[in-house]
Amino acid sequence: MDSLIPEPPRALCPATALAEGAARGFPPAGPGFAGVFLVRKGGRVFGYVNACPHLGVSLEWTADRFLSADGTSIVCAMHAAVFRIGDGACLSGPCDGAALTPVAVTEADGMLCVPAGAGRHAKTD
Ligand code: FES
């Protein structure tokens, strides 16, 4: 049975550790979770589950490399699907019309935080 007490948010990194135009990935919170990643663009921080809607794999080709060379979009390393940073919509590629799963990002005590359940795989039982 799930607890009725909300889990505290997961603190990912200091807000100062994510520069404008940068992206950063974070490992799964535990078994049954996918990782998440953050992008700071236009002064806002966007968060997504690190799972491509095409095949469910992680998007980055090496640590923290989620963005196109010009930094204007998110790109999946596997088959080069292109996603809009602002809403995760797939603009081209094999999952055209799908979208990344957004994660709410908050800042508390100088830390960027996501909900404790961010990236949790849907229960299948
Ligand atoms: S797995 Fe991401 S585009 Fe195919």
- Which residue has the least CA distance to atom 3 on ligand 1? 79
**pLDDT tens for residues 23-55?**
999 999 999 999 999 999 999 999 999 999 999
Asked whether 78 lines ligand 1 (CB < 6 A), one says yes
The Cα–Cα gap between 54 and 30 comes to: 23
C-alpha torsion sign, points 24, 42, 105, 102: negative
Q: Which atom of ligand 1 is nearest to the CA of 76?
A: 2
End-to-end CA distance of the chain: 13
**pLDDT tens for residues 98-108?**
999 999 999 99
pLDDT at 6: 82
Q: So where are the chain's domains?
A: 10-114
Instruction: Enter the pTM of the model.
Output: 0.93
Asked whether 79 lines ligand 1 (CB < 6 A), one says yes
CATH topology of domain 10-114: Rieske Iron-sulfur Protein (2.102.10)
Extended beta strands in the chain, E state: 10-14, 23-26, 36-41, 44-49, 73-75, 82-84, 90-92, 102-103, 106-108, 111-114
